[in-house]
């Protein structure tokens, strides 16, 4: 199975710092996006430490051994939490993480927070991650009726992130891949401001992943560039 990939990040038009980070390693077929939490100090450092530690741990896995990404989360979280204790002893630091590795003809994904993985197949887009927000947690536990009592200010607050006390439990997702599939890992600077049908159109019409990422960044900026926008596009081709 052949893959073509591209990654791009953009500070946007409003933020003073880019707190997003990405990982793109075609040799390991390892890809990730981390979005530092802006409400805490050190968002950029949290995201940088997360993708760096992930990369370091996967590279240290013996050749031929099966690398369980979920099993790496405690070590990543402890490294970021340790850094957070020096940056802000009272509140620490935090970041989202969506990371995937292509093994054979499978995508093996872990997910914490509200960065997103989309799978586009035959032009149809599927969001294969579920945001870890107060809104979604309440819906899962109590149904949609409970949303009437939810404060709109807190509905998008994260319930899981890398860097806080206690290692977060990642969602673990596996998808079989087929020639023609397109995968997008992205921060919410893309997913919140570009409708899913437009994301699907951009990815489906792009001739290569670099073009897809450039177009998505342009779209995000045209919607105000309110947040940092980052993504990794992966195109699966026939051998």
Measured CA to CA, the distance from residue 220 to residue 89 in angstroms comes to: 34
Mean pLDDT of the chain: 91
End-to-end CA gap in the chain: 5
pLDDT digits (tens, 9 = 90+) for 178-199: 999 999 999 999 999 999 999 9
Q: Which domain holds residue 6?
A: 2-237
Give pLDDT, residue 205. Answer: 93
Name the least confident of 96-110, 111-125, 149-163: 149-163
How many domains, the chain?
1
pTM above 0.95, yes or no: no
From the list 139, 176, 161, the residue with the least C-alpha distance to 19 is: 161
pLDDT digits (tens, 9 = 90+) for 57-111: 999 998 767 789 999 999 999 999 999 999 999 999 999 999 999 999 999 999 9
Name the least confident of 53-62, 85-94, 129-138, 158-167: 129-138
From the list 145, 143, 109, 140, the residue with the least C-alpha distance to 127 is: 109
Give pLDDT, residue 135. Answer: 65
Q: What 8-state DSSP symbol labels residue 141?
A: H
From the list 185, 213, 216, 204, the residue with the least C-alpha distance to 125 is: 204
Contact status, residue 73 vs residue 160, Cβ threshold 8 Å: no
Length of the chain: 239
Quickly list DSSP for 209-231. HHHHHHHHHHHHHHTT--S-EEE
From the list 109, 77, 82, 110, the residue with the least C-alpha distance to 95 is: 77
- Per-residue pLDDT, averaged over 160-186, amounts to 95
Q: Which residues contact 149 (CB under 8 A, 6 or more apart)?
A: none
Distance of CA 8 to the CA centre of its chain: 13
Give pLDDT, residue 183. Answer: 98
Contact status, residue 45 vs residue 93, Cβ threshold 8 Å: yes
Q: At what angle do helices 196-205 and 209-222 cross, to 10 degrees?
A: 150
Sheet holding 30-35, edge to edge: 20-25, 30-35, 97-103, 106-112, 171-176
CATH of the domain at 9: 3.60.40.10
- Per-residue pLDDT, averaged over 30-38, amounts to 95
């Amino acid at each position: 199975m052949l893959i073509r990939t591209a990654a791009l990040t953009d500070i946007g038009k409003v933020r003073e710092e880019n707190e997003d980070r990405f990982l793109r390693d075609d040799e390991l077929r390892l890809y990730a996006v981390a979005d530092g939490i802006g409400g805490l100090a050190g968002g950029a450092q949290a995201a940088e430490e997360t993708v760096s530690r992930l990369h370091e741990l996967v590279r240290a896995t013996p050749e031929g051994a099966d690398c369980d990404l979920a099993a790496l989360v405690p070590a990543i979280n402890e490294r970021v939490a340790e850094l957070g204790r020096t940056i802000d002893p009272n509140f620490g630091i935090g970041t989202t993480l969506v990371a995937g590795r292509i093994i054979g003809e499978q995508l093996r994904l872990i997910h914490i927070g509200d960065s997103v993985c989309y799978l586009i197949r035959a032009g149809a887009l599927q969001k294969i991650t579920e945001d870890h927000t107060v809104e979604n947690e309440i819906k899962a536990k109590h149904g949609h009726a409970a949303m009437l009592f939810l404060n709109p200010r807190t509905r998008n607050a994260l319930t899981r992130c890398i860097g806080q006390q206690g290692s977060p439990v990642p969602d673990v997702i596996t998808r079989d891949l087929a020639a023609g599939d397109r995968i997008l890992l992205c921060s919410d600077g893309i997913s919140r401001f570009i409708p899913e049908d437009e994301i699907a159109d951009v990815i489906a019409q792009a001739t290569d992943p670099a073009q897809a990422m450039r177009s998505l960044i342009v779209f995000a900026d045209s919607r105000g560039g309110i947040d940092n926008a980052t993504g990794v596009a992966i195109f699966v081709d026939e051998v």
